[in-house]
Amino acid sequence: MNIIPPYIEPGNTIGIVSTASVINQSVVEPAVELLQSLGYKVQLGSYVFSKNGQFAGTDQQRASDLQLMLDNPEVKAIICSRGGYGSLRTSELINWSGFAAKPKWIVGFSDVTALHAKIQQLGIASIHGPMPKHFTDNEQPSVGFRFLIDALNGKKLSYKVESSEFNRPGKASAPVVGGNLSMIYSLRGTPYDIDTNGKILFIEDLGEYLYHLDRMMMNLKTGGKLENLAGLIVGHFTGMKDHPNKFGKTLEEIITDAIKDYAFPVMFNFEAGHQNNNFPLKLGAEAKIVVNPKKSTFVQ
């Protein structure tokens, strides 16, 4: 199991950085106010609101912000402002040695999967969880945000998961890995490639064509990434698209077909991904899943 970074408490400083796409100040400010209302200090990176094409500043600027937050002992956790694209470019410019010696929690999802993959390589846990846009829901703290604070504070995460006819019953206790499926797919064959052996794999995605979902699942299958899983958790697959020549299978059928040769438990309908209900998972940390036809649970 990976190293668990120190948990945080009110009074600690949380850093916010932009490792990927440009973000509007109006999205981040309510998140800062919400964190401050709970007693946390917030430190923004110098280039959080910068713009360079679709990126939040140049690669060097984004990396500079992240590096300073990683190396600053006063910053106890780092939250990425958004995904989009660019986190891998940022990660490649980082000196991770200080962070490896003194880990801290890094939070994000989607494109931030690239950072999570690097952190897993270092043997450290991180949090796949909501970013500022989803901290509030109807101007109130979102459920996902409340669970995120629990995760950062070291409280047990316990979720009940809606049943699905595509679930495969069973139990598993193992570390969780994964994140955005498109990012996992893009990291295949690189030093960031995720080790899935004996792990519970979590996947989610946004706006993909069904045939491309099949392509990605076939990549994982033929690459041996599925055969030794302890379990599979399927989160939100939001805004999926089909070609004018219909693919002929639903997303659930595509995933089920890719794993039909294996016997591990499979949990669909997990509330994580590109929707307001984005429940955090500690990647690299042990979790227990119980999948039943009528009720499934996730505890970490």
Q: Which residues does the annotation mark as catalytic?
A: 110, 204, 274
Q: What are phi and psi of 271, to 5 degrees?
A: -80, 75
Rg of the chain taking only CA atoms, in angstroms = 18
Burial-class residue 95 by CB neighbours within 10 Å (0-12, 13-18, 19+).
exposed
Instruction: Of 101, 44, 98, give the one whose Cα is nearest residue 67.
Output: 98
CA separation, residue 256 to residues 166, 176, 179, 226, 287 (Å): 7, 20, 18, 12, 22
The rounded distance, in Å, linking the Cα atoms of 212 and 190 is 20
Q: How many helices (H) and strands (E) does the chain have?
A: 9, 15
